[in-house]
Structures are given as structure tokens and as C-alpha cells.
Amino acid sequence: MQPLNEAILIMAVGMITVFFILFLIVLIGDLIIRLSNKYLPEEAVAVKAKKTGTSSDNTMKAIEAAIDVITNGRGKVTNIKKI
Amino acid sequence: MEEILSKLYRMTAFGGFSFEVVLMWFIAFVLLYLGIRKKYEPLLLVPIAFGVLLANFPGGGMGIVPAENIALEGHRYKNLFEIASEYGIMNYLYYSLIKTGFLPPIIFMGVGALTDFGPMLRNLKLALFGAAAQIGIFTVLIVSLLLGFNLNEAASLGIIGGADGPTAIYTTIKLAPHLLGPIAIAAYSYMALVPVIIPFVANLLMTKKEFKINMRQMDKLYPPKHKIKNLKVVKIIFPIVLGCVSAIFVPSSVPLLGMLLFGNLIKEIGTSTLRLSEAATGPIMNTATIFLGLTVGATMTADVFLSPKTLGIVVGGFIAFAISIAGGILAVKVYNLFAKKKINPLIGATGLSAVPMASRVANEIALKHDSNNHILQYCMASNISGVIGSAVAAGVLISLLS
């Protein structure tokens, strides 16, 4: 009988704890949402800086120049695949 | 000549054959069939099944030996080198990675990095149904006790109802390690059977009208009070705060919940921690899964697995699953009695973990009754909270019983 009583007690403690923690999650989530809506309302929009002279641009220019030389200006780069 | 033949015979495994060994091979083949052909949780069932095979090859030395074999006087244990040299590499892996409780939290870290708390944050109230669905754990604890299991074994059996593999394994390691094999098999098998069990329980408990409750229409009629303006910030702050709060109230859940939330945080931060989240969800989680599956399978030697308790675990596990689903459904039905904004009880059914399969199954059932009733996002809210709920329930059981 003793273990059964203990099991019933564990059930009560367990269910109350689980409900309590998930109830806290609801409260915490709600609080975080309210605070972020008030103080951090919008996501910082990433400003697209105009790319100037990045390494990928330079690579592209080098490939285009090489194709231009090899095909005497008739070739055009449509797709670049890394092998 | 006769001596050579005798040595040759002893070299092979034929001398160790027995009915029990062949039966274990058969069980391993069935599990392999379910994993490979039927695709029942193949990522875990295949390593577990192969671990069963390895453990039951006579003379292979891959079966896990009971903890008494490695115990020394004064609550001390043999060191890992001694374990490896006496009992082989599988015991080395088991006692270093499983018995220490190392792998389940590592897998939870990967699960966290794959989890999106967004649906739960958008529908916070639905998180409470993840608590209701833990009732199966504790009900089966009591039933198992009446069936002759001791308290620790009953708790390990009940945790199958949480429908969370790593949680079930972690709890069993802590409370009843001798039942690890059958409990892991039962947990993962029933998770694979979620598409069968949820419709079965839902059809028993729900009316046609309830199946058709349309959540989007309800949202239009009763819109949520607060819309999230900056979801990214909320998603980053949430695991940090939740980790602190749960650690204060249920410290024994920290190994699982803490790692889950850490995994989630490195995912939500974005590009600056992308390499960490990729490692957590890729190489680390995959490696952990392989070793977890193989070693758990290797605990299932014939003398351990072929006992009446295994049958009790298989039956008890199913009951735990079914009661958890029923608990979630009934909680929603009770809520609907008092609330204006009705909730589809299928959302309660997903309160047990089994993410995201439970949500997908519930969504499909809702769509069968109304092709416009997409409830996946709502189900995910309750489903994810179920993961937290079962980890908390495991923490309670471990702290009260270990």
C-alpha cells in the first residue's frame, strides 16, 4: 500500500509541476512578447550595401575577361559551376 | 584430426546456439524489417536492431553485462580500460556513453537546434495542453505498480507515454537501467505507430463536429491580443529565460531541457552561430544516434529481454501512449465547455511529444473532415510544449525516485 500511496503522490506532484512550468512558459512568453513589442518593435532591416570590388565580383570579372579573350568577344557567361 | 575438428567447432558460434538466441535473432530481424522496409523510425530502429543482433551472437562478446559485473566495493566501479579489456568495446561504449547519461542530452541539443518555438510563441495558450498530455506517464506509473513492477521500473515504463525517445532512455538509465532495451524499443516503436494510435484514440473520443472546428476561423472571430512584432528577438530571448526559470524550479530536468534550449538558442541566433547549430544537428547528433541505438540494442541479450516484464512494458507502453493522447483531447474538450473561442481537440492529442509526426497526423485527420482546416501550426504549439512537459515530468520522476 505504501508504494501505491507514493505513486499517487508522485502523480499529483508531477502533474502540478508540469502544469506549473508550462503555465510559467505561457506567462514568460507573453511577457517577452510584450516587452519586445514595446522596446524592440521591429527587426533591424539589413541595409544592403552596394557591393564594390568584392572577391566574388573580381572573380566574375576575371572569368568574363578570359571568356572574352578566348571567344573573341562572341562568348557570354550564363552559368558558373564550382567543380 | 579429431582434435583439430573439435577446435574448429569451438571456434565457431554453433556451440552457443539455443532457442533463446535464435528467438532474439528473429526479434532483431523483425525490427530490421520494420526499420528498413516499413520505415518505422529507421534512424534509431536500425541501429537498435543491429545492436540486438551483435549482442546475441554467441562468443561475440558484444552483449552488455549487468552493472553488478563492473561494481566494486564501496560504491565504486571498474575503470573504462578494465571494462573494455574484460567485456569488450560495446560495454566500454555503454558504460561510458549511456550509463553516464551522456548521449540523451546530446541528442536533445540536436533536437533543440531543429525545433522552432515560433508556432508555440504565436499560440501560447495551446502550450498548456502539452501538460495535460503527460497524464499517461503518471497513470501508467500507478497501473504498472499494481501489476508488480517496483516504483522505479513503473516510472520508467510510464515515461514511454511522454513519446520522447531520449527522455524515456534518460529516465530509464537513471531509474531502472536493466529495462533500458525493452523500454527504448517500446518508446520508438509506439512513436512510429503515432499515425495509427492518434486516429484510433481521436475517433473514440471526438465527435464529427469537433473534428471540424476550424482554428483559422476561430482566430478571425477572436483574434489574439498581442501580435509578435519582432519574432527573431523573442525567439532568442525565450530559450535563455526559459532555461533559467526551468533550472530554478526543476533542476533535475536541466540535463535534457538545458541542452534542448541551448541547441535552440544557437539555431535562433542565426549566421554567427550557424556552424554550431549545423554541428549539433549534423555530425554530433548523427554520431550520438548511432552509438545510442547500437548500445541500447546490445542491452537486449536473451536472458534480459525474454522475461514477462518485457511483455508488461510493451502493453504498458501502449496504454501510456493512448492515455496521454486521450488526456490532451479531454483537456481541450473541458476547455471548450467554458471558452468562447473553441479549440480543435486534435490539438490536444499532439500534446505528447513525437515532434513533428503527431502534428502532421493530427493535421491530416483535420483535413479529412474539412479540406480547408489546416491546423498544423496550432498542433506544433502543443506538440513542442509536450517535449518540454515530458522533460519536466522526467525531471520530477528522477528527483523523487533516484
pLDDT, tens only, B26-83: 999 999 998 899 888 788 889 999 999 999 998 888 999 988 888 898 878 899 999 9
Give the number of residues written for chain A: 83
What pLDDT was estimated at residue A55?
60
What pLDDT was estimated at residue B347?
95
Q: Is the pLDDT of residue B310 over 80?
A: yes
Query: How far is residue B175's CA from residue B149's CA, in Å, rounded to a whole number?
Result: 12
What pLDDT was estimated at residue A42?
72
Per-residue pLDDT, averaged over A74-79, amounts to 73
Which residues in chain B touch residue A44, judged by CB atoms under 8 angstroms apart? none
Nearest CA in chain A to B391: A18
Q: Domain residues of chain A, as ranges?
A: 1-39, 51-78
Q: Is the pLDDT of residue B175 over 90?
A: yes
In chain B, pLDDT over 70 holds for what percent of residues?
Answer: 100
Inter-chain CB proximity A19 and B128 less than 8 Å? yes
Per-residue pLDDT, averaged over B323-328, amounts to 93
What pLDDT was estimated at residue A72?
67
Distance between A5 CA and the closest CA of chain B, angstroms: 9
Contacts of B256 (CB under 8 A, 6+ apart): B104, B105, B108, B166, B167, B170, B391, B394, B395
The residue to which cell 542565426 is assigned: B270
Which residues in chain A touch residue B132, judged by CB atoms under 8 angstroms apart? 19
> What is the distance, to the nearest Å, from the Cα of residue B375 to the centroid of all Cα atoms in its chain?
24
Distance between B201 CA and the closest CA of chain A, angstroms: 21
Confidence band for B378, pLDDT divided at 50, 70 and 90:
very high
Cβ B245 vs Cβ A54: under 8 Å? no
Confidence band for A53, pLDDT divided at 50, 70 and 90:
low
Which residues in chain A touch residue B389, judged by CB atoms under 8 angstroms apart? 18, 21-22
Of B83, B75, B22, B9, the C-alpha closest to B53 is B22
Inter-chain CB proximity A26 and B128 less than 8 Å? yes
Inter-chain CB proximity A18 and B393 less than 8 Å? yes
What pLDDT was estimated at residue B141?
93
Confidence band for A45, pLDDT divided at 50, 70 and 90:
low
Give the number of residues written for chain B: 402
Give me the residue from A13, A19, A40 closest to B230, CB to CB.
A40
**In a mutagenesis test of the B interface, which of A21, A27, A35 is the best target, namely the one with the most B β-carbons within 10 Å?**
A21
Distance between B273 CA and the closest CA of chain A, angstroms: 18
Confidence band for B274, pLDDT divided at 50, 70 and 90:
very high
Over chain B, what is the mean pLDDT?
91
Chain A neighbours among B 111-150 (CB < 8 Å)? 120-121, 124-125, 127-128, 130-132, 134-135, 137-139, 141-142, 145-146, 150
Give me the residue from B130, B151, B233 closest to A7, CB to CB.
B151
Per-residue pLDDT, averaged over B10-20, amounts to 81
Confidence band for A6, pLDDT divided at 50, 70 and 90:
very high
Q: Is the pLDDT of residue A47 over 90?
A: no
What pLDDT was estimated at residue A69?
72
Answer whether the bond into residue B356 is a cis peptide, omega within 30°.
Answer: yes
Residue A16 near chain B (CB below 8 Å): no
What pLDDT was estimated at residue B163?
84
In chain A, pLDDT over 90 holds for what percent of residues?
Answer: 40
Q: Is the pLDDT of residue A44 over 70?
A: no
Q: 3-class secondary structure for B3-20?
A: HHHHHHHHHCCHHHCCHH
Distance between B93 CA and the closest CA of chain A, angstroms: 33
Instruction: Count A/B contacts: CB-CB distance under 8 Å.
Output: 123
Query: How far is residue B241's CA from residue B261's CA, in Å, rounded to a whole number?
Result: 10
Nearest CA in chain A to B151: A3
Inter-chain CB proximity B230 and A25 less than 8 Å? no
Inter-chain CB proximity B134 and A8 less than 8 Å? no
Distance between B257 CA and the closest CA of chain A, angstroms: 12
Distance between B332 CA and the closest CA of chain A, angstroms: 14
In chain A, pLDDT over 70 holds for what percent of residues?
Answer: 75
Distance between A39 CA and the closest CA of chain B, angstroms: 10
Per-residue pLDDT, averaged over B317-336, amounts to 92
What pLDDT was estimated at residue A65?
78
Query: How far is residue A50's CA from residue A59's CA, in Å, rounded to a whole number?
Result: 17
Give me the residue from B138, B141, B250 closest to A21, CB to CB.
B250
Inter-chain CB proximity B250 and A17 less than 8 Å? yes
Tens-digit pLDDT profile for residues B184-222: 888 888 887 888 899 999 999 999 999 999 998 998 898
The residue to which cell 526479434 is assigned: B27
Which residues in chain B touch residue A25, judged by CB atoms under 8 angstroms apart? 124, 127, 242, 385, 388
Of B129, B186, B124, the C-alpha closest to B158 is B186
What pLDDT was estimated at residue A61?
76
What pLDDT was estimated at residue B316?
87
Alpha-carbon distance values, B27 to A9, B67, B300 (Å): 38, 24, 10
Confidence band for A54, pLDDT divided at 50, 70 and 90:
low
Residue B385 near chain A (CB below 8 Å): yes
Q: Is the pLDDT of residue A52 over 70?
A: no
For the ranges B5-14, B107-116, B172-181, B253-262, the lowest mean pLDDT is seen at B5-14
Q: Domain residues of chain B, as ranges?
A: 101-281+301-401
